[in-house]
Structure 1
Amino acid sequence: MAQSLKTKKIQKNDNSGIFKIESSFIPNGDQPNAIKKLVHGINKGEMEQVLLGVTGSGKTFTMAKIIEFVQRPTLIMAPNKTLAAQLYGEMKSLFPSNAIEYFVSYYDYYQPEAYVPRSDTYIEKESSINEQIDRLRHSATRSLVERKDTIIVASVSCIYGIGPVESYSKMSFELKQGQKIDQSEIIKKLVTLMYKRRDIDFRRGSFRVKGDVLEIFPSHYEDKSWRISMFGNEIENISENDPLTGEKNLELNSIKIYSNSHYVTPRPTIQKAVQKIKVDLKNQIDVFEKENKLLEKQRVEERTTFDLEMIETTGSCAGIENYSRYLSGRKPGEYPPTLYEYMPEGSLLFVDESHLTCGQISGMYKGDYSRKSTLANYGFRLPSCIDNRPLKREEWDAMRPQTIFVSATPGEYELQKTGGTFVEQIIRPTGLVDPFCEVKTTENQIDDLIDECKEKIKNGYRILITTLTKKMSEDLTEYMHENSFKVRYLHSDIDTIERIGIIRDLRLGVFDILIGINLLREGLDIPECALVAILDADKEGYLRSKTSLIQTIGRAARNIDSKVIMYADSITKSMKEALSETNRRREKQLNYNKINNITPESIKKKIDQIIESTPEQDHVTVEIKDKKQLVGKKLSDHVKDLEKMMLESAAKLEFEKAARLRDEINRLKAEEIGVKNIFFKNKKRGRFYKNA
């Protein structure tokens, strides 16, 4: 199976450079030994390795050094968008000359299509696509096809189906200066690639024509367009321009245009797919007739016939992904085309926070299958909709390249793959040790916690408190608020963007205490945190397992004055194992510090970048009266005011002012979600554009 899966992968064009880290940092502590062992394993051809790296030990830098040593295209998988954005920013700063791309789900809001038989409720699919992330996805697939020096940072959404790489590559076309081609032929090709003609509302994924001049706004750019000047049937000139002002940035000898959708399909393939859909529709109608399911028969016939008419007319339809099996030519039950097929042979895979990520991969298929099989059984979709799915874990195992699982607490799955062996990275270059852990009785625990909080806040530190239930979190938040603490509650109903904003506000000191349940664990980078309090630590279960406890303790491992308090009346097996492992790591770090005469220092990275990074200081911006107050809700309100001003300016035909306001809104939103480091400066004009 492994061979059949991997034969689909593409070969890469040889037109790019090598991976080269640009940083003053050098490997320290356990990093040199970890890098050496892992690179040796890759060169030996080992398919799986595990890096046990504690919080703050520089796992990202270790990954970067491995990529630099082996010089292979790399995919880095993270369990969620938050960690993916953090890794993306760090990799982009380490490899500024290489193609660092971001590939996550492009939905801001997604309500999947579903049917609940018990209440006879059909839920129609609803979604809101984030244009910025969609552009980054196109940029990622384009870089994989064109460049060798590509690093993709992705969430687990990369195991979901996208269009087959064969169609994506074959349907691209190149235009060169001096090439003989009719303008109408170029337009025809652009329409085939799902570009839309917009002579006035020129935006990403569109083109416009003015006499002999054809302008294209590529799907992978946000602030660059291509202008093609024709002289008869010959391309006289190709240039890269600013789509807003039309100002020329540079001359180009050639351009390559890729599809505006990953689901683009050649016309002959569509015609074949339509015939197959009709056959399957007839078979399904016969099945429902035999079972005397007349409502389901009528439903599937009407819905599928409408979709077929749309596909035949326009080449697409709402929910076309449910017909992806026909369009990709796959057999029933066969794995769907995913980002892994875009990865070239010899690639490398890092699975960050693998104890979470691997579990997600295992569970995603089962949930998807349950929902779609119900839709098929009740006639809302053909049974082929089940094949529009994420990869099963066994398919992922067979398809993935050489893999390094990275976690502070590797799971059973990863360790089974490596026979229980792992490479350890415990020593932190900063000399920071794992926090001192103290177990206290639950009697008068809230009063004790309040005293501890007062002490830490007095020294300018932040506090994380983790509870077992939502009710307890809410009650504790209310109680501490009544006691004049600046406190916030982080719960599961808060979306990703707002969650990042809350963490940002905590670091800035808008509030001092953050209370949560299972949200204060993997990947939270809060160097100002000097106290982590774990309530009900002796309640054995998922939230108080060895893995959960070690991960929660790790949130306090970035500050020299930090400590962890576990409130419990007894010491459970999980607590004992977590305390033992923490003490082992602590002793090893202390011995290293003593031998090398290292004085531990708290991590301070990124705190200055929250408001005032170097690019932010001379960005063309809209004047604001009190910049430092624009955090949390105030930032959100300010953005709404700017949006209102932008619309008013556009209504008055003051398009330059509206465009400046739009740029400022985009910058603030990017800053809020932590991806502002994808900005780079165009020195000639003193403006910033998002990197393509």
Structure 2
Amino acid sequence: MEKLVKNMKAGVKHQILLGVTGAGKTFVMSNVIERIQKPVLIISHNKTLAAQTYQEFKEFFPKNAIHYFVSYYDYYQPEAYIPQTDTYIEKDAKINEEIDRLRHAATQDLLTRDDIIIIASVSCIYNIGSPEAYQQVSLEIKPGQKIKRKDFLKNLCSLQYQRNDIDFKPGTFRVRGNIVDIYLVTGKEILRIEFFGDEIVKLLISRPDFDSKFNILNSKFQLYPAHFWVTPQEKLALSIGNIKLELQDQLKKLKREKKLLEAQRLEQRTNYDLEMLKETGYCHGVENYSRHLEFRKPGQAPYTLIEYFPEDFLIFIDESHMTLPQLHGMAKQDRARKETLIEYGFRLPSAIDNRPLTFKEFEKRINQAIYVSATPAEEERKKTLQQDRGKKYIVEQLIRPTGLLEPSVEIRPTKNQVKDLISEIKKKTAKSQRALVLTLTKRLAEALSDYLAEEGIKTHYLHSEIKTLERPQILKDLREGKYEVLVGINLLREGLDLPEVALVAILDADKEGFLRNETTLIQTMGRAARHQAGQVILYADKITKSMAAAIQEVLRRRKIQEKYNKLHNITPQPIIKEIREWPFLVKEKEITSEFWVIRDTKLLEKEMREAAKNLDFERAAEIRDLIRKTK
């Protein structure tokens, strides 16, 4: 920690924290943060690890703004076109509203607080819109403010808040006489505005709990948009005009090339989107027009989460050997898909600028970075060397506070490997210990999980098709004993804090490749290093170069640890860690429509009669059904 902080104060831009599993890398990171007092971005390579890191930092910094920023898609099929089969694949996505709320909470606190730590996945380098525009369109509300209620409601709609007097949820507002309730998009609070004539006379704030009371707010309140891409109304007309000009140029080009079908398709799709933008300020796929809405030049880098940070901030690249390759590859993949859509008239050329940052653009935005990994790759090592005449800025952390050693490693033949595996698992579970099993494919993971269950072993599989917010729950269930074994492929590697795991079994360890290279093997073996009886079994018929190198490195570390323990008379102690709820899995009780029936039955009965009087029988029936639920 001292070395890292000293180097940072000396202006060192790139450092490596090489720490073994269970050595307390997260604790060191938190102490560095406490010492430097800067906003911090921690980038993880998968959502599961990000969730665990988020939980740990919530414990380390209970009074700070700790946020979780990952992709909000439970399912995502990007827009694409396959020319060979003339197949257009429309964008299809299922947005997780809980994660969307967490993303908004993160960006809003970035604009208003300095004591902030954001734990993000690599999705943080994707375009989310300009922070200046996001702040510019926000609405300042204060007691005594002169504004007509009608104009105020219009402003709410321009911020993409939707009126919904029945299904009150984040991102909506409702109106009852002179009272306007706004359920903030962050999901944290409900803002109540009381009008008297054309004046706001009172602001009140409440938690979205069933029995929470409203408290008077004497200060002003800044209301941010419900969506990231919101263009100020006075600039929207100019943006639409620029889109129309680009459309005309592209139509001429397509017609010159005799692509009449493509021209017709592009004109129809774009004009529909423009009409939606004009009427509502928003449209499906609005991000594809972000270059015009943000007035960026062609090729100019998009606005990402990083733009919401001040200039002087710190980045931790967690498990950098995995995270950096992901950051490298995103822009190229996105560009290839977009170019096909543009060529065949599905999108305007400017859509290519709705993209993630290139790696060079990302590097330019780094103020200071610490690469955290038990197995740093060549790229991180080169970065630390290049900055100061070959001097290495690598801080090793091989000793665990508990004295725990690297796990023992043995190689067993693949013949009857499943039978042998079951025998070993039962030995561990008899002692209330847990096990992780690594396979090569999702199909095999699921099949093996089913087979183990048939053998009476409580098991579950964990792979990329498991929903984001379900993965932490499965890991929690493993720790609590609901499951004794988890079977996975690549998610059971870096950073998972599972002190109950005493066995890691790697099937087909001699199948050389990405899932069985030196780095992966070291990381996977490390999952057993948090237990006194940590054991790794590699099922293989030959010893590959990767296996030999991984085993050699684990033994090197173990010898250093044994020597240190002997010198300081340390006896390895087990890790006892409390099993806690994942903060964002404990959903706050939202104020539902039923709650308002209980409180305002008479008011709703009046509204029901008014709706029926106005021949709005569908609305009247909805209100009637809500009232019946309380009787």
Which bracket does the TM-score occupy, shorter chain normalised? Answer: 0.7 to 0.9
Indicate the residue corresponding to 2:600 in structure 1: none
Indicate the residue corresponding to 2:8 in structure 1: 42
- Residue from 258, 263, 283 that aligns with 1:317: 283
Structure 2 runs not aligned, ≥5 long: 386-391, 591-621
Q: Which moved more, 1:102-111 or 1:155-164?
A: 102-111
Asked if the contact 1:487/1:515 (under 8 Å) is kept, the reply is: yes
Indicate the residue corresponding to 2:605 in structure 1: none
Q: Deviations over 1:91-129 (max 9, x none)?
A: 111111111112111222222111122221111112222
CA distance in 1, matches of 2:449, 2:111: 50
- Residue from 555, 573, 593 that aligns with 1:601: 573
CA distance in 2, matches of 1:219, 1:477: 39
- Residue from 457, 475, 492 that aligns with 1:520: 492
Indicate the residue corresponding to 1:559 in structure 2: 531
Following superposition, the deviation at residue 472 of structure 1 comes to 5.3
Indicate the residue corresponding to 1:546 in structure 2: 518
Indicate the residue corresponding to 1:82 in structure 2: 48
Q: Deviations over 1:571-621 (max 9, x none)?
A: 3222222112111221222223233333222223133x369x9x99xx99x
Matches within 5 A, 1:16-35: 35=1
Tell me, yes or no, if structure 1 residue 410 matches structure 2 residue 382: no
Shift in alpha-carbon separation, 1:246–1:233, aligned structure 2, 3 A:
farther
Q: Which moved more, 1:365-374 or 1:481-490?
A: 481-490
Shift in alpha-carbon separation, 1:289–1:597, aligned structure 2, 3 A:
same
- Residue from 322, 330, 333 that aligns with 2:299: 333
Aligned partner letter, 2:374: A
Aligned-residue sequence identity (percent) comes to 52
CA distance in 1, matches of 2:102, 2:628: 30
CA distance in 1, matches of 2:526, 2:251: 57
Asked if the contact 1:102/1:153 (under 8 Å) is kept, the reply is: yes
CA distance in 2, matches of 1:204, 1:468: 41
Asked if the contact 2:518/2:549 (under 8 Å) is kept, the reply is: yes
Asked if the contact 1:107/1:127 (under 8 Å) is kept, the reply is: yes
CA distance in 2, matches of 1:521, 1:649: 51
Asked if the contact 2:52/2:472 (under 8 Å) is kept, the reply is: no
Indicate the residue corresponding to 2:200 in structure 1: 235
Matches within 5 A, 1:79-478: 79-222=45-188, 224-241=189-206, 247-419=213-385, 421-469=393-441, 473=445, 476-477=448-449
Following superposition, the deviation at residue 249 of structure 1 comes to 3.2
Following superposition, the deviation at residue 435 of structure 1 comes to 0.5
Q: Which moved more, 1:236-245 or 1:524-533?
A: 236-245
SS at match of 1:220: coil
Equivalenced residues, count: 590
Asked if the contact 1:219/1:260 (under 8 Å) is kept, the reply is: yes
Indicate the residue corresponding to 1:584 in structure 2: 556
SS at match of 2:404: coil
Aligned partner letter, 1:316: Y
Asked if the contact 2:38/2:312 (under 8 Å) is kept, the reply is: yes
Shift in alpha-carbon separation, 1:168–1:496, aligned structure 2, 3 A:
closer
SS at match of 1:45: coil
CA distance in 1, matches of 2:453, 2:437: 14
Structure 1 runs not aligned, ≥5 long: 1-34, 621-647, 658-692
Tell me, yes or no, if structure 1 residue 532 matches structure 2 residue 490: no
Shift in alpha-carbon separation, 1:245–1:489, aligned structure 2, 3 A:
closer
Shift in alpha-carbon separation, 1:227–1:495, aligned structure 2, 3 A:
closer
SS at match of 2:627: coil
SS at match of 1:309: helix
TM-score under structure 2 length normalisation: 0.87
Asked if the contact 2:319/2:374 (under 8 Å) is kept, the reply is: yes
CA distance in 1, matches of 2:170, 2:271: 32
Indicate the residue corresponding to 1:4 in structure 2: none
Q: Which moved more, 1:492-501 or 1:351-360?
A: 492-501
CA distance in 1, matches of 2:293, 2:326: 28
Tell me, yes or no, if structure 1 residue 653 matches structure 2 residue 627: yes
Asked if the contact 1:350/1:405 (under 8 Å) is kept, the reply is: yes
Matches within 5 A, 1:618-657: 651=625, 653=627
Asked if the contact 1:240/1:252 (under 8 Å) is kept, the reply is: no
Q: Deviations over 1:436-488 (max 9, x none)?
A: 11223445544443432232222221222223355655665565455444444
CA distance in 2, matches of 1:602, 1:397: 40
CA distance in 1, matches of 2:623, 2:427: 51
Asked if the contact 1:242/1:249 (under 8 Å) is kept, the reply is: no
CA distance in 2, matches of 1:501, 1:343: 31
Following superposition, the deviation at residue 553 of structure 1 comes to 0.5
CA distance in 2, matches of 1:196, 1:356: 40
* Aligned CA-pair RMSD: 2.7
Q: Which moved more, 1:133-142 or 1:209-218?
A: 209-218
Asked if the contact 2:74/2:468 (under 8 Å) is kept, the reply is: no
Following superposition, the deviation at residue 49 of structure 1 comes to 0.9
Matches within 5 A, 1:44-83: 44-83=10-49
Aligned partner letter, 1:582: V
Asked if the contact 1:171/1:258 (under 8 Å) is kept, the reply is: yes
Shift in alpha-carbon separation, 1:191–1:492, aligned structure 2, 3 A:
closer
CA distance in 2, matches of 1:211, 1:650: 20
Asked if the contact 1:104/1:154 (under 8 Å) is kept, the reply is: yes
CA distance in 2, matches of 1:211, 1:474: 56
CA distance in 1, matches of 2:526, 2:630: 49
CA distance in 2, matches of 1:507, 1:246: 34
Shift in alpha-carbon separation, 1:188–1:582, aligned structure 2, 3 A:
same
Aligned partner letter, 1:367: Q
Shift in alpha-carbon separation, 1:128–1:493, aligned structure 2, 3 A:
closer
CA distance in 1, matches of 2:287, 2:323: 25
- After TM superposition, which residue ranges in structure 1, 4 or more long, deviate above 6 angstroms? 654-657
Asked if the contact 2:136/2:232 (under 8 Å) is kept, the reply is: no
Q: Which moved more, 1:568-577 or 1:369-378?
A: 568-577
Indicate the residue corresponding to 2:479 in structure 1: 507
Q: Deviations over 1:287-331 (max 9, x none)?
A: 111111111111111111111111122212111111000001111
TM-score under structure 1 length normalisation: 0.80
Q: Deviations over 1:333-391 (max 9, x none)?
A: 11111111100121111111111111111111121111111111111111111111111
Following superposition, the deviation at residue 264 of structure 1 comes to 0.9
CA distance in 2, matches of 1:494, 1:391: 27
Aligned partner letter, 1:600: P
Following superposition, the deviation at residue 75 of structure 1 comes to 0.8
Following superposition, the deviation at residue 197 of structure 1 comes to 2.9
Following superposition, the deviation at residue 141 of structure 1 comes to 1.0
Indicate the residue corresponding to 1:13 in structure 2: none
Following superposition, the deviation at residue 50 of structure 1 comes to 1.0
Shift in alpha-carbon separation, 1:493–1:418, aligned structure 2, 3 A:
same
Aligned partner letter, 1:40: K
Asked if the contact 1:79/1:155 (under 8 Å) is kept, the reply is: yes
CA distance in 2, matches of 1:202, 1:538: 56
Aligned partner letter, 2:532: I
Asked if the contact 1:649/1:655 (under 8 Å) is kept, the reply is: no
Q: Which moved more, 1:314-323 or 1:490-499?
A: 490-499
Asked if the contact 1:487/1:513 (under 8 Å) is kept, the reply is: yes
